[in-house]
Amino acid sequence: QKEVEQNSGPLSVPEGAIASLNCTYSDRVSQSFFWYRQYSGKSPELIMSIYSNGDKEDGRFTAQLNKASQYVSLLIRDSQPSDSATYLCAGYGGATNKLIFGTGTLLAVQP
């Protein structure tokens, strides 16, 4: 099993809908997780961090961490075409406790 796994997508949602992005992680990854948004040709931008079990909300974004099931998700409410990007999940882990990224999920919000 990869340390951090994401479905590559694309995930297509209509404008105004809720986009749900998921990420699973192995035992080798710690409990601190991060969501980055990366537009095509740009660098990743940190949008959410979550350290404890449960939900964390910031504007239209909600991050959810479920330690028992080893998954972390990102919900985007009222999706906009400007949310179309690749979303990267990351967590600290491995033998040297470095930040490990998933391969990213491409989100396409259809107008």
Q: Which residues bind another protein (CB under 8 A)?
A: 32, 34, 36, 42-46, 49, 51, 88, 92, 96-104
Q: How far is the CB of 76 from another protein (least distance, A)?
A: 20
Q: Which is nearer to another protein, 25 or 36 (CB)?
A: 36
Q: How far is the CB of 51 from another protein (least distance, A)?
A: 8
Q: How far is the CB of 17 from another protein (least distance, A)?
A: 27
Q: Are 65 and 31 in contact (CB under 8 A)?
A: yes
The rounded radius of gyration (Å) of the Cα atoms in the chain is 13
Region of residue 31 (phi > 0: left; psi between -120 and 50: alpha; otherwise: beta): alpha
**Calpha distance 17→75 (Å, rounded):** 10
Q: Which residues, other chains included, contact 41 with Cβ-Cβ below 8 Å and sequence gap of 6+?
A: none
Q: Which is nearer to another protein, 17 or 108 (CB)?
A: 108
Q: Which is nearer to another protein, 26 or 103 (CB)?
A: 103
